[in-house]
Amino acid sequence: MQKKDTIFTRLYHGILVENPTAVLCLGLCPTLAVTTTAKNGLAMGIVTGIVLVLSEFFISLLKRVIPKKDRMIIYVLISACFTTIIQLVLNAYYPDISESLGVFVSLTAVNGVIFGRADNYAMQNNPGLALFDGIGFGIGYTLIITILGAVREILGIGTIFGIRVIPDGYTLSIAALAPGAFFLLACIIAVAQKIKGGRSA
Amino acid sequence: MSLSKRIIRIVIIAVFAFALIFAGYFVTKAKVEENNETKIDAAFETVYPDAASFDEANYRSEYLTRYLTDNGYADDQVHINKITFARNDVRDVQGVVVQVSSYKKYGGIITMLVGIQNDGTVNGYSILHISEAKDLDLKVKDAAFADQFKGVRTEAFTLVNGEAKITGEIIPANGADDASQTVVRAVNASILANTFIDEYYGGVG
Amino acid sequence: MTKLIYVAIISAFVNNVVLGQMFGVNAAIKGSEKMSNALRLSLCVLIVTFLSSVITWPLSEFVLGKFNFEFLQTIVFLLVEAIIVAILTAIVNRWFSHRRKIYGRILPLIVINSAVLGVILTNVQVGYSFLRSAVNSVCGGLGFAIAVIILAGVRERIAFNDVPKPFEGVPILLVTSGLMAIAFYGFTGLL
């Protein structure tokens, strides 16, 4: 049953079949917290994606020297290292984004997607494939977090990427608050489960 | 594998991780400093557009803290970091720019500059940093909210819902009550700081 | 004193770690599967958050802050957490060896629990005093415990209900958390 892994299957799995947010339900904290606007969602997705790609690549490269027992701490060190570098770059060149994402940029270091992929993929496969696995899952993660951000921005603030689509005063402000994030993410995952259920039946 | 061998491997990877971070730090350092300078310059320009030069005021900060506390602004709610005199081109003091940090009720801090003229008229404020910003909080940066303070002379601003009738009443930014209150507190403390500096220097400057 | 109670109510209820600030949502969902596990997880989070905030506050104030190395906070704090977890694991293995299997599964995951890292990072980034950050971290841990335990309780009830098929599993838990978040907003009136 195990088909040959190719670059294409990695991307396909990451974006659709095993989408990290909608199917595997990993890394939900930033997905819920920073998605008040589509722009924030997109930025957070890209940050997570970059850290994921770099971490997976290096973990795969180092897989022979990582002691099985201590792999968690090594993963943490590697992801924290790249997270900090991305944070420094954001501070220098995109200070606005760094400010509006706040502490969640730092929390990328403990994002569940990174540890899930490191353990389940990067440790067993070669660095080239791990790189594309990271790209696929990074895109998949970015996709859902941006969609959630867009929906919340339209409903909660009445704009999309800053362009007004719903007049002020007709917005549903709960969508911009914490409960709205929980409800809308639940709907997105439910849609994904519906599609998945329909296909396997 | 023995414990010492495991620890050595972890330490080696940690050393590499720190080395990479430091490399990133030194590459971006200059740019970050430049950003901060332009940001602060821009903020001074916003709160005091017609001043020719600025210089820092010297005062005993514990006196100011006590003065604020006596007037109902406790140090764990709002703190004055720095006071700068704004001078015109013949070096007369026109007013002050106060750098103030104010704590939000539900956690988080807002640091901003407030420009105040000698007679207590508020020129406006410019936010340097909001921590734990939910997006709605960022509405306090919008002109619609910030302009309510501009050119107003009052002892203390207050928040009201609905309509502002008398001078010094501020309508909170929609959906950002906590942040609005934090900003009002910061501006009020700055007004007090202006009075304090005035008394401290005996109104000479 | 009233000040600290006030801080406590805010971090445990009004701005609950899981439901308001949305730190550690994954851990809460995973940990609430069984009530017994939820209690153990909460205990671990509480202890690790408190101990790491007590250590990281002086570290960031007197070491990192002194050299303007604030950017090292993330990696250094994670190392501190990892060391604390390693020590706790050793303690459990030594003195509570009949429990080592259960805690051996929970403890390693605490390092990558974003509730712990989120709380200790917020403490130093907002610039709380030592006492206030200690109170904040204990209440953050309590807030996590409250959310996980209520969620575990609700899950026991959900098991007997007919949930629409697509909403089974994580989605219904997210809806539950959303409703809890609305309820917790009610605590705003306390202040």
B116-134 residue pLDDT tens: 988 888 988 988 888 765 6
Strand-pair category, B121-130 with B109-117 = antiparallel
Helices (H) and strands (E) in chain A, counts: 9, 2
Chain centroid to CA B40: how far?
Answer: 11
**Interchain pair C75, B131: CB under 8 A:** no
Measured distance CA(B31)–CA(B28) in Å, rounded: 5
Measured distance CA(C126)–CA(B107) in Å, rounded: 8
Q: Check: CB of residue C177 under 8 Å from CB of residue C25.
A: yes
A174 touching B (Cβ < 8 Å): no
Measured distance CA(B57)–CA(B145) in Å, rounded: 29
Measured distance CA(B83)–CA(B93) in Å, rounded: 13
- Taking 50 as the pLDDT cut, the residues of chain C under it are none
- For residue B168, what is the enclosing H or E element? none
CB within 8 Å of B185: residues ≥ 6 apart: B73, B77, B78, B102
Question: pLDDT tens for residues A42-76?
Answer: 999 999 999 999 999 999 999 888 888 888 899 99
**Amino acid at residue number A85:** I
Nearest to B80 by CA among B106, B105, B62, B104: B62
List B109's β-bridge partners, or say none: B103
- For residue A97, what is the enclosing H or E element? helix A95-101
Q: What is the DSSP letter of C108?
A: H
- For residue B114, what is the enclosing H or E element? strand B109-117
DSSP string, B80-100: EEEEEEEE-TT--EEEEEEEE
**Interchain pair A84, C20: CB under 8 A:** no
Task: Find tokens 């101990």 and name the residue.
Answer: C51
Q: Check: CB of residue B114 under 8 Å from CB of residue B144.
A: no
> Which residues of chain C make contact with A106, given a CB cutoff of 8 A?
73-74, 117, 121
Measured distance CA(B150)–CA(A97) in Å, rounded: 28
pLDDT at B159: 86
pLDDT at C14: 83
Question: pLDDT tens for residues C114-123?
Answer: 999 999 998 8
Nearest to C166 by CA among A179, A13, A112, A23: A23
Name the 3-class secondary structure at B101.
strand
Chain centroid to CA C117: how far?
Answer: 9
Total domain count for chain C? 1
* Measured CA distances, C126 to A84, A186, B81, B104 (Å): 19, 31, 15, 10
Instruction: Tell me how many degrees the CA angle C182-C187-C190 measures, rounded to the nearest 5.
Output: 155
**Amino acid at residue number C58:** P
Residue C67 placed within a domain: yes
- The answer to whether residue B193 scores a pLDDT higher than 70 is yes
Select from C19, C26, C48 the residue whose CB has the most chain A CBs within 10 Å, as the one to mutate to test that interface: C26
Question: What mean pLDDT do residues B48-57 have?
Answer: 84
Q: Check: CB of residue B137 under 8 Å from CB of residue A157.
A: no
CB within 8 Å of B88: residues ≥ 6 apart: B50, B51, B52, B94
Q: What is the DSSP letter of B1?
A: -
Measured distance CA(B100)–CA(B127) in Å, rounded: 10
**Interchain pair B109, C10: CB under 8 A:** no
Q: What is the length of chain C?
A: 191
Nearest to B146 by CA among B119, B110, B118, B194: B110
Residue C3 placed within a domain: no
A62 touching B (Cβ < 8 Å): yes
| Nearest-by-CA chain B residue for A178 | B134
Domain residue spans of chain A: 7-194
- The answer to whether residue B205 scores a pLDDT higher than 50 is no
**Interchain pair A92, B35: CB under 8 A:** yes
pLDDT at A102: 84
Name the 3-class secondary structure at B199.
helix
Segment among A28-32, A90-94, C6-10, C152-156 with least mean pLDDT: C6-10
Measured distance CA(A8)–CA(A199) in Å, rounded: 21
**Interchain pair A62, B13: CB under 8 A:** yes
Q: What is the DSSP letter of B103?
A: E
Residue C122 placed within a domain: yes
Shortest Cα–Cα distance, B18 to chain C (Å): 8
A149 touching C (Cβ < 8 Å): no
Question: What mean pLDDT do residues B144-159 have?
Answer: 86
Q: Check: CB of residue B51 under 8 Å from CB of residue B41.
A: no
Q: Check: CB of residue A88 under 8 Å from CB of residue B35.
A: no
- The answer to whether residue B188 scores a pLDDT higher than 70 is yes
Question: What mean pLDDT do residues B15-27 have?
Answer: 94
- The answer to whether residue B36 scores a pLDDT higher than 60 is yes
CB within 8 Å of B7: residues ≥ 6 apart: none
List B86's β-bridge partners, or say none: B54, B95
Contacts 24+ apart (CB under 8 A), B6-15: B6/A67, B6/A69, B6/A70, B9/A65, B9/A66, B9/A67, B9/A70, B9/A74, B10/A70, B10/A73, B10/A74, B10/A77, B13/A62, B13/A74, B13/A77, B13/A78, B14/A77, B14/C79
Nearest to A132 by CA among A34, A12, A2: A12
**Interchain pair C75, A26: CB under 8 A:** no
Segment among A4-8, B136-140, C93-97, C170-174 with least mean pLDDT: B136-140
- For residue A103, what is the enclosing H or E element? helix A103-107
- The answer to whether residue A174 scores a pLDDT higher than 60 is yes
Measured distance CA(A10)–CA(B134) in Å, rounded: 35
Task: Name the residue among C75, C127, C129 with its Cβ closest to that of B21.
Answer: C75
Nearest to C55 by CA among C71, C72, C79: C79
CB within 8 Å of A77: residues ≥ 6 apart: B10, B13, B14, B17, C75, C78, C79
Select from C114, C136, C175, C182 the residue whose CB has the most chain A CBs within 10 Å, as the one to mutate to test that interface: C114
Structure tokens at C106: 């929970």
Q: What is the pTM of this model?
A: 0.86
**Interchain pair A84, C117: CB under 8 A:** no
In percent, the amount of chain A with pLDDT more than 90 equals 59
Question: What mean pLDDT do residues A122-142 have?
Answer: 93
Instruction: Tell me how many degrees the CA angle A156-A159-A164 measures, rounded to the nearest 5.
Output: 135
CB contacts < 8 A (A, B): 72
Which residues of chain B are at the A interface, by a Cβ-Cβ cutoff of 8 Å?
Answer: 1, 5-6, 9-10, 13-14, 16-18, 20-21, 24-25, 27-28, 31-32, 35, 39, 129-136, 138, 175
- The answer to whether residue B202 scores a pLDDT higher than 80 is no
A144 touching C (Cβ < 8 Å): no
Q: What is the DSSP letter of B59?
A: -
Question: pLDDT tens for residues A97-116?
Answer: 888 888 899 999 999 999 99
**Amino acid at residue number C133:** S
Shortest Cα–Cα distance, B203 to chain A (Å): 39
- The answer to whether residue A38 scores a pLDDT higher than 60 is yes
Strand-pair category, B158-159 with B169-170 = parallel
pLDDT at B40: 87
**Across A120-124, B143-147, C11-15, C127-131, which has the greatest mean pLDDT?**
A120-124
pLDDT at A185: 95
Task: Find tokens 């439910």 and name the residue.
Answer: A190
Measured distance CA(C140)–CA(C134) in Å, rounded: 10
Domain residue spans of chain B: 53-200
